[in-house]
Amino acid sequence: MIDTFLIPLLKILFVLNATLIGVTYMVLLERKVIAWVQVRLGPMRVGPYGILQPIADAVKLILKEDITPTKADKWVFTAAPIIVMVPALITFAVIPFGPAVHLFGREVPLYITDINVGLLYIVSVASMGVYGIILGGWASNSKFPLLASLRASAQLISYEVGVTMTLVSMIVTAGSLSMVRIVEAQYNSHLWYIFIQPVAFVLFFIGGLAETNRAPFDMAEAEQELTGGFHTEYSGMRFALFFLAEYANMIVVSSVATTLFLGGWLRPFPNVAALSFLGFIPGWIWFLVKTFVFLYVFLWVRATLPRYRYDQLMRLGWKVLIPIAIANVIVTAIVKVLL
Amino acid sequence: MGEAIAFYVLAALILGFAVLVVSTRNTVHSVLYLVLNFLAVAALYVMLTAQFLAVIQVLVYAGGIVVLYLFVVMLVNLKRPPEDHSAPQRKSWVGAGLGLLVLGELGGIVAYGRLAPAVSPMQNTDLAINNVERVGMLLYTDYLIPFEVASILLLVAMVGAIILAKREL
């Protein structure tokens, strides 16, 4: 009873809350990092160095008036932010944060579940998130959101192909679809997969930027062209859900990249005895640090690179990323057979 | 017991959403019901311990193909249904005939299924653990030729679609 219901429930509650808190602080971190890049201070008023800013923002968004446009499709308009948020959160069910730990005399693995199709589960759940963006734009019954959601859906479909092909080469390398077994395979191969599959890593990261609608691929919310993007007509908490889902997706992509390429909870160069003094740091701290590095790069990229033009974006996806990804799969498969 | 309840709930959802797909007037809503229908079918696959099939169902059908449907429906203005010139009666006869045909087919399958030995997939733990490997082995050994034929069919369809869409290549 305790093992089948209580512990998974507690883990789900913990992961869900940790993610949501992480997401709200990602917003603050983004403002701070971009401010530092531009030699500004960023939010400084609410609390010391602005650390209470996310709470002030949340209060503001909850108290704001919630407007549904008269001509909007009411049900779809209401459902769209939920459809965006839910896939981003349920992905965390299969992400392994660390190895099993001993807590209060029982062995508790630091992941909610380990299913044998874990990686495919993440891809398929992530592919449901695009509905929220398309429907949000369509249901608003307004021109700019509709244009933005068409852009977003075309972009997401294109980059999903490339990312999925990249993941196929990782599956071939690891020989498993289970997230936990992929980490264990990296332990057995003595190397993180970023050293074995550097091309796949670059492809995955570019694809991840596009899949999360982040700069330089944030076509769906290009303010200069589309006023606000697909969420122009949304206000208050519904807008906040779209906003938070974007950051939750960033955390998802970072966690998946950490698991696939940076060895998840493993320390650098696992199995090398000379570095075993690093073992005193628990696995979940390694995982969090690596994920944080990825998140920082997301923000850094946003502060550095200008936005792509739309046709360049599609050309990059179809004519560059997908062919390289397919070639990478073929090369990986040949090497795997020969070795 | 719980399994039976889950099955009947899922079956009712699948049929209910399928009816809503064809009966809803708003095309976008109809496409959305199709997504819900596919998701419920995926849940049914999970109950049959076919996790791989369930995930692929969500990825390809619910997440891929229907997004393209939605794309087309949103681009093409379908506010007013096209005017109907044919006699409505004859169409309903054809529909009823096709419906009876499908019903007869289902009855045949049920009758045939009674003869075959019942399988309880939940107890087959090897299938549950090595789902992907099993599907892959079957596809590339026993069902290799149908698999390749299907892929050639898709290739032909793709080439045909490109030729139709781009006349001056």
Kindly state whether residue B8 falls inside one of the protein's structural domains.
Answer: yes
- For residue B105, the Cα-to-chain-centroid distance in whole angstroms is 17
Residue A3 lies in a domain: no
Tally the C-alpha atoms within 13 A of residue B107's C-alpha that lie toward its C-beta: 6
Q: Give residue A189's domain range.
A: 72-338
Q: Indicate the residue among B79, B113, B145 that finishes a domain.
A: B79
Q: Could you tell me if residue B136 is inside a domain?
A: yes
Q: A107 pairs with which residues across the strands?
A: A102
Query: Which member of B62, B64, B132 has the closest CB to residue A177?
Result: B132
Q: How many CA atoms are closer than 13 Å to the CA of A240, on its beta-carbon side?
A: 17
- Asked if residue B124 has pLDDT above 60, the reply is no
Is residue B34 in some structural domain? yes
Residue at A22 is within a domain: no
The structure's pTM equals: 0.85
On whether any CB of chain B is under 8 Å from the CB of A72, the answer is no
B contacts of A149 (beta carbons < 8 Å)? 74
CA distance A78 to B156: 41
- Please, what is the average pLDDT of chain A? 85
In chain A, DSSP assigns E strands to 98-103, 106-110
Q: What are phi and psi of B42, to 5 degrees?
A: -60, -40
**A129-179 pLDDT, tens per residue?**
888 888 888 888 888 888 888 888 888 888 888 888 899 998 888 888 888
The answer on pLDDT for B125 being more than 70 is: no
Average pLDDT over residues A178-183: 85
* Residue B76 in contact with partner chain A when CB distance is under 8 A: no
Q: Are B58 and A124 in contact (CB under 8 A)?
A: yes
Tokens coding B163: 């030729």
Query: How close, in Å, is residue A264 to chain B by CA atoms?
Result: 23
The residues, ordered by sequence, that sit 6+ positions from A309 with a Cβ below 8 Å of its Cβ are none
Query: Over the stretch B47-80, which tens digit does the pLDDT of each residue have?
Result: 888 888 888 889 888 888 888 888 888 777 666 6
Last residue of a domain, one of B47, B79, B111: B79
Q: Which tokens hold the place of A143?
A: 């021109």
Is the residue at B98 inside a domain? no
Contact in structure between A197 and A116 (CB atoms under 8 Å): no
Q: Which residues of B touch A127 (CB under 8 A)?
A: 58-59, 62-64, 67
| Residue in this structure with the two tokens 């701290």, named with its chain if needed | A285
**Domain annotation covers residue B114:** no
User: Domain for residue B111, yes or no?
Assistant: no
Q: Considering only CB atoms, which chain B residues are within 8 Å of A143?
A: none
Prior bond of A216 cis (ω within 30°):
yes
**β-pair partners for A110:** A98
Q: DSSP string spanning B29-44?
A: HHHHHHHHHHHHHHHH
Instruction: For residue A238, give how far its alpha carbon lies from the nearest alpha carbon of chain B (Å).
Output: 20
Residue A248: both structure tokens together: 């939750």
Q: What is the ipTM of this complex?
A: 0.83
**Residue A276 placed within a domain:** yes
DSSP string computed for A201-226:
HHHHHHHHHHHTT-TTS-GGG-HHHH
Q: What is the pLDDT of residues A27-54, one digit of tens each?
A: 888 888 889 888 888 888 888 888 888 8
pLDDT, one tens digit per residue, over A58-87 is 888 888 888 888 888 888 888 888 988 999
| pLDDT of A95 over the 80 cut | yes
A124 touches B at CB < 8 Å: yes
Identify the weakest region by mean pLDDT among A1-10, A221-230, A287-296, A326-335. A221-230
Number of domains in chain B: 2
Nearest to B15 by CA among B1, B46, B36: B36
* Dihedral, CA of residue A147, residue A149, residue A152 and residue A154, to nearest 10: -80
Q: Angle at CA A153, nearest 5°, toward A176 and A299?
A: 70
B14 domain-assigned: yes
Domain boundary among B20, B54, B79: B79
Rg of chain A in Å (alpha carbons): 21
Is any Cβ of chain A less than 8 angstroms from the Cβ of B58?
yes
Contact call for residues A279 and A269 (beta carbons, < 8 A): no
Residue A106 has which token pair?
A: 């029982």
What would the two tokens of residue B77 be? 């203005």
Contact partners, residue A78, CB within 8 Å, separation at least 6? A68, A238
B32 and chain A in contact, CB less than 8 A: yes
Pick from A247, A220, A193, A209: nearest CA to A57 = A247
CB contact under 8 A, A130 and B67: yes
Q: Is A98 helix (H, G, I), strand (E, B) or coil?
A: strand
Q: Counting every residue, how long is chain A?
A: 339
- What CA–CA distance (Å, rounded) separates A147 from A134? 10
Looking at mean pLDDT, say which of A67-71, A329-333, B119-123 comes out highest: A329-333
**Is A330 domain-assigned?**
yes
Q: Count structural domains, chain A.
A: 1
Residue A178: left (phi > 0), alpha (psi -120 to 50), or beta?
Answer: beta
Q: Phi and psi of B51, rounded to 5°?
A: -60, -40
**Domain span holding position B143:** 124-169
Kindly state whether residue A191 falls inside one of the protein's structural domains.
yes
| B64 CB within 8 Å of a chain A CB | yes
Q: What is the dihedral of CA A218, A224, A230, A235, to 10 degrees?
A: 120
Would you call A236 exposed, middle or buried from its count of C-beta atoms within 10 A (0-12, 13-18, 19+)?
middle
Confirm if A229 and A222 have CB atoms less than 8 A apart. yes
Evaluate whether residue B96 is within a structural domain. no
Q: How far is CA B149 from CA A124, A330, A335, B153, B165, in A?
A: 26, 21, 28, 6, 24
Helix (H, G, I), strand (E, B) or coil at A278: helix
> Which residues, including other chains, have CB under 8 Å from residue B104's CB and lie 6 or more apart?
none
Mutate to test the interface with B, among A74, A131, A161 (most CBs of B within 10 A): A131
CA distances from A283 to A98, A103, A286, B39 (A): 5, 15, 5, 35
pLDDT tens readout for residues B78-118: 666 556 666 555 667 888 899 999 999 999 988 887 766 65
- Within a domain: residue A213? yes
